[in-house]
Amino acid sequence: MGFDCMAKLSVNERNQKIVYSLSQWILKARKNEFKVDKYESSELDVLFSSTVWGFREVTLVIVAGKHLNNSYSPTTDFYSCNPRSLYEKDIRTVLHANGIPHRKSGPLNVAKATKGLNEDWAAQRGPKQLGDCVVRLAKYVEGLEERKLDNFAVALLSRFLNEAKRVESIDISFDAETNPTFLYELCCYMIKNAPDAGNTPQRFTGTLLKCFHEDINSGVIVTGYEDRASVTSTTSKKPGDINEETDDGVILSVYEITVKPFGKDRIIESFDTIRISNESSNNSIDEVKVVCRASDCPIGIEERVSDFYYGSIQYNGIEYAYIDIFQWTAALITHMTRDGRREFYECLEKYISEYNTAEIVKNAWREFHSK
């Protein structure tokens, strides 16, 4: 079946086709059934030189789009292949099944709704060398005939598999620790040295809060912390980064976890989300706990009330209470039993070992334990 015929496939047929093709490419990659020339090897070296995964993922979308339709031109009309559906429903399924690190919407976050992946797009992306590389590869893929495209797809996925093996080889396994000082210093080190665009503080504090409630058998359910920090509250329809809820979904408390300034713009964004949540449910949220550093507080809070609590700001009936992220972490750790602290550590270790956890986070974890 030729490419032009594939363009006429139904959605289900297209999904089946691309999942099958990706699986076959990966099978060939595992068997080293491909050839890579000097140019392709050089460009793939650049593409996989960074931990910004979206660029390699958008390149995979380009290859898949060309595979489905020979007339596909990512440099002039990237979105004509329906990249969100193609990546999130098809490509991610195969990457996940093969333990290949990936992001939920990596290509879309990199593409940023651009018309075409061209020099103008690359000039606005960072690191710039990766944007330039994607543009060169997009032009290169546009000119490939079926057999050469198939070979390049296998070479590309071989690099994905190599990354999966490399990340898997990072040894992060250590004996579980229950000492409060150790756990506190571990959390501080990870938050300071490997924030991972806000994912580390959100995941660590959310996991701590979950384990705390389980330890004291409070019946409170902690939600939201497993989402990546890049998932906005508006998109996910959750009122905050982390929520404490009853078992029937009534929200008790809302937390915003950040190591970036949480001022007027973020307060307004948070308020809009809470307003929508209150209007669409039985919730009556009127307070948000902003767990952050002193440097993240807005100008309206002139002096900290204490080392734990900085103070609060009122906005349209919602009180934003600013709490020190490190003191808050210490308080919860010291209020847990030894078994609770062990569970907390083991949950963190499980998160670190996941193939999708950023390499910088894995390395920071290993570095802390090697001190």
Domain boundary among 168, 192, 207: 168
pLDDT attached to residue 117: 78
Please check whether residue 254 is in contact with residue 289, taking contact to mean a CB–CB distance below 8 angstroms.
yes
pLDDT attached to residue 259: 94
Per residue in 77-121, pLDDT (tens digit) is 877 777 777 777 778 888 888 777 767 665 666 656 677 777 877
SS3 for 319?
A: strand
pLDDT attached to residue 248: 84
pLDDT attached to residue 28: 86
Instruction: Classify residue 262: in a domain, yes or no.
Output: yes
Query: Any idea what DSSP says for residue 370?
Result: H
Residues 91 and 11 in one domain: yes
Residues 55 and 151 in one domain: yes
More confident residue, 156 or 173: 156
Residues 44 and 135 in one domain: yes
Positive or negative: CA dihedral 227, 230, 232, 235: negative
pLDDT attached to residue 231: 53
Please check whether residue 155 is in contact with residue 44, taking contact to mean a CB–CB distance below 8 angstroms.
yes
Residues 122 and 268 in one domain: no
More confident residue, 245 or 34: 245
DSSP string covering 49-65: SSS-THHHHHHHHHHHH
Domain boundary among 168, 193, 227: 168
| Confidence at 299, pLDDT banded by 50, 70, 90 | confident
SS3 for 221?
A: strand
On the question of pLDDT at 1 being above 50, the answer is no
On the question of pLDDT at 25 being above 80, the answer is yes
Instruction: Classify residue 300: in a domain, yes or no.
Output: yes
pLDDT average, residue stretch 22-35 = 84
In a 13 Å sphere around the CA of 315, the CA atoms on its Cβ side amount to 20
On the question of pLDDT at 289 being above 50, the answer is yes
Residues 7 and 153 in one domain: yes
CA-nearest of 341, 328, 329, 334 to 215 is 341
Task: Name the packing angle between helices 146-168 and 38-47 (round to 10°).
Answer: 40
pLDDT average, residue stretch 199-218 = 95
Residues 189 and 82 in one domain: no
Burial of 110 (C-beta count, 10 Å sphere; 0-12/13-18/19+): buried
Longest CA pairwise span in the chain (Å): 70
Residues 223 and 144 in one domain: no
More confident residue, 341 or 134: 341
More confident residue, 107 or 318: 318
Q: Where does 50-142 have alpha helices with state H?
A: 54-68, 74-77, 83-85, 92-97, 106-111, 119-123, 128-142
Domain boundary among 137, 168, 199: 168
CA separation (Å) from 326 to 228, 301, 308?
Answer: 21, 18, 8
pLDDT attached to residue 94: 82
Residues 21 and 142 in one domain: yes
Secondary structure element (H or E) that encloses residue 252, with its range: strand 251-257
| Confidence at 352, pLDDT banded by 50, 70, 90 | very high
On the question of pLDDT at 3 being above 50, the answer is no
Residues 163 and 184 in one domain: no
Number of domains within the chain:
2
More confident residue, 225 or 175: 225
| Confidence at 171, pLDDT banded by 50, 70, 90 | low
Q: The tokens of 273 are what?
A: 């989300």
On the question of pLDDT at 345 being above 90, the answer is yes
Percentage with pLDDT > 70 across the chain: 88
pLDDT attached to residue 141: 84
Average pLDDT score, the chain = 83
Residues 159 and 225 in one domain: no
pLDDT average, residue stretch 55-77 = 84
Alpha carbons 319 and 289: distance in angstroms, whole number: 8
On the question of pLDDT at 10 being above 80, the answer is no
Instruction: Classify residue 53: in a domain, yes or no.
Output: yes
Alpha carbons 55 and 273: distance in angstroms, whole number: 30
Instruction: Classify residue 175: in a domain, yes or no.
Output: no
Instruction: Classify residue 141: in a domain, yes or no.
Output: yes
Residues 161 and 207 in one domain: no
Least confident of 105-109, 273-277, 349-353: 105-109
On the question of pLDDT at 134 being above 80, the answer is yes
Instruction: Classify residue 174: in a domain, yes or no.
Output: no
pLDDT attached to residue 194: 94
Q: The tokens of 278 are what?
A: 């209150």
Q: The tokens of 119 are what?
A: 């020099």
Instruction: Classify residue 173: in a domain, yes or no.
Output: no
pLDDT average, residue stretch 341-355 = 91
Instruction: Classify residue 68: in a domain, yes or no.
Output: yes
Which residue segment(s) compose the domain that 239 sits in?
180-370
Residues 138 and 236 in one domain: no
Least confident of 191-195, 199-203, 299-303: 299-303
